[in-house]
Amino acid sequence: MSLVFAIAMWILVEGEKRTEVGFLIPIEFRNLPKDMVIIGEPVKDAEVRVLVSKKVLAKLSPAQLAAPIDLSMAKPGINNLIVVPRDIKIPKGVELIKVNPSSILIHLETIASKLVPVKVKIVGAPASGFRVKGVSVEPDSAAVFGTPGQLKDINEIYTASMDISGIKADKTSMLAIQLADTELKRAEPDVVRVKVSVARMRKAVK
């Protein structure tokens, strides 16, 4: 019984011994003002050093730790944000020793808007003997949002492609505005009504 008790105590003591380990955890940017956007690629991970018992360590994973960074008080331009150790999320039984980096530089810019005409990408052609009479877009302009630098050279915006191959009558479609090839943040509205009108070609008079 004494031997069993001694072994049990040894296992308990060993399990409670704390060791220092490191984890790479994601940085979570929170409370970004709605009229601002992050420019460039800020640091995405932080290294934390913690003291933890072997018992707790066996059940610990990086997913249980997080480094939230509050952006609610950030201003346009370069912000030097302090990583506050007390804000690091750690489970019970884990003691935080160090966080690296201790501060993060993040560049924010104010989002602006610009009203530009909406253009349609037409694919294909009507059936033989028909021609495109006209293309109408409702609404014919949209407000696009981005930083002043991103908006500078944007003078028009395109919808998704509209295929009119072989049509013999007017065709109407709801098409999304495409932002994939731009750095713009959003468009309002983001869907427009496009109507392609066709007419029969006149036969040549001999």
Domain coordinates in residue numbering, the chain:
17-110, 112-200
Which pLDDT band holds residue 79 (cuts at 50, 70, 90)? very high
- The pLDDT assigned to 174 comes to 96
- The pLDDT assigned to 35 comes to 87
- The pLDDT assigned to 131 comes to 92
- The pLDDT assigned to 205 comes to 54
Task: Dump pLDDT digits (tens) for 154-176.
Answer: 999 999 999 999 999 999 999 99
Q: Which two tokens stand for residue 81?
A: 């944000």
Decide: 20 and 49 in contact? Cβ < 8 Å.
Answer: yes
Give start and end residues of each alpha helix (H) in 20-59. 54-57
Determine the topology of domain 17-110 in CATH.
RNA Polymerase Alpha Subunit; Chain A, domain 2 (2.170.120)
CATH number of 112-200: 2.170.120.40
Q: Which amino acid, residue 112? A: A
Which residue in 92, 90, 103, 97 sits closest to 25, CA to CA? 90
Q: What is the mean pLDDT of residues 16-38?
A: 86
Task: Dump pLDDT digits (tens) for 97-155.
Answer: 888 998 999 999 999 999 999 999 999 999 999 999 999 999 999 999 998 888 998 99
Which pLDDT band holds residue 34 (cuts at 50, 70, 90)? confident
Phi, psi of 203, deg, nearest 5: -75, 140
Pairing of strands 45-53, 94-100: antiparallel
Domain 112-200 in the same topology as domain 17-110: yes
CA 185 to chain centre: 9
Which pLDDT band holds residue 16 (cuts at 50, 70, 90)? low
